[in-house]
Homo-oligomer: A and B are copies of this chain.
Amino acid sequence: MQRTLISETIQKTGQPVKVCGWVHVRRDHGKIIFIDLRDRSGILQCVISPGAKNYGELKKIRSQWVLEIAGTVKNRPAKLINPGLETGKIELNVKEIKILSEVEELLIDISLDDMNLHIETLLDYRNLTIRNEKVGAIFKVYAEVLKAYVNFMRSRGFLEIKTPKILSGATEGGANFFKIKYFDRDAFLAQSPQFFKQAGVGAFERVFEIGSVFRAEPHFTSRHINEFVGLDAEMGFIDGPDDVMDELEETMKYVLSEVQKNCKKELEIYGAKVNIPKKFPRLKLADAVDILKKEFKKEIEGIDIDPEGERLICEWAKKEHRSDFIFLTNYPWDIRPMYIMPNPDDPKETFGFDLLYRGIELASGGQRIHDYNQLVENMKKKKLNPDDFKYYLQIFKYGMPPHGGWGLGSERIVQKILGLKNVKEAILFPRDVKRLAP
């Protein structure tokens, strides 16, 4: 007999079916054993009476055992209907059970609505904890974000590309690279697909990439991870950084609207609401610093705002503009990479920006320099040696349009949509300074 998914049993009242899944919970009522069976589509109550085949054997079944159950779908008596369950009007009268896999004692009860585990326990037992419905919901939202991102990018004429993660040099001239032994020489793990997506603009005008990003930053925070999945994009023939922000704004609106539409259950589990502002406010970084001083009595050391500043300026955007998002623009030249276009009206500033969402930086982007000579000059000003960037500079010898783009952190989107305390919760198997397993 073909397997029936649990969500499809609703239409099969009176019919014999075969279902497969895990024992979610198991209850004894005298000689009757109730098993809530869980598969990828839902949960179904299965009733084992002493008449079932090998009844004696079936009594040993416990939580999380994997079963294949043959039986007949029956309507439940009216007073036993469970309105909280999709299959709450029916149950399965068990005829025969095949045990596919048994389980030792479990240390964690994953059938709980909320396991309330310490983050380290949650991650140490990741192979088990991702089976919990609330934890699993995170990864359904995550998959929806990936899907919405690619679909939107394609609809806007962006070509999906894949670029290498092993590099011959520390591309952007910064630190924070992981070093690899590559046959008989050293190599580095990509900190971003920046150079390659710019090359992509030269060929295809608009490109996007979903790929691994590696950062050797020794941070111990709830916002940092050392390996994540970046949602990158780069577009040619722009008139200025606002064109890039427009595109990113539309992208985020689409991604959120898709999550809102297709992840109702998952949002509900987290009591999360998706708010999509009509327009994301755009504020110069310098003006943000002023607002922090005036409205929040917060003094900024240096020229960039710190995590508390990011949180406060998001509060301000929510209050003043009813927006969960805010663009901070015109980042200072000193703290942006050599490829970001300086503002011709004020060379201390650049056409670089950040996008903040619910208190944290979600994306970094900007217009890039597209002129070969200007780029060489900017490298020199940054005390970088253009000879170290031979292949990158090649791109600009062949004719490059004005262009710009962004890098988005996919995990932070999910973290902030669902209100997770730690970004690591939004990653199946996160890597941080201390954690490389499971």
Contacts and interface: CB of A to CB of B under 8 A. Distances in A.
A78 interface: no
Contact of A104 (B40, B65, B397): B397
Contact of A168 (B106, B168, B400, B437): B437
A126 B199 contact: yes
A42 to B, nearest CB: 12
Interface string A370-407: 11000000000000000000011011011111100000
Interface stretch (A156-164, A249-257, A273-281, A298-306): A156-164
Contacts of A433: 183
Nearest to A165: B212
A178 interface: yes
A22 interface: yes
Total copies of the chain: 2
B66 A400 contact: yes
Contact of A100 (B103, B211, B401, B430): B401
Contacts of A189: 180
Interface stretch (A81-89, A114-122, A200-208, A343-351): A200-208
A167 B28 CA distance: 43
A341 to B, nearest CB: 13
A3 interface: yes
25 contacts: A3-B237, A40-B157, A66-B401, A100-B401, A100-B402, A103-B397, A130-B202, A136-B204, A139-B203, A142-B162, A150-B150, A162-B212, A162-B427, A163-B428, A166-B214, A166-B431, A167-B436, A168-B437, A178-B180, A178-B182, A180-B189, A195-B438, A210-B210, A391-B438, A392-B438
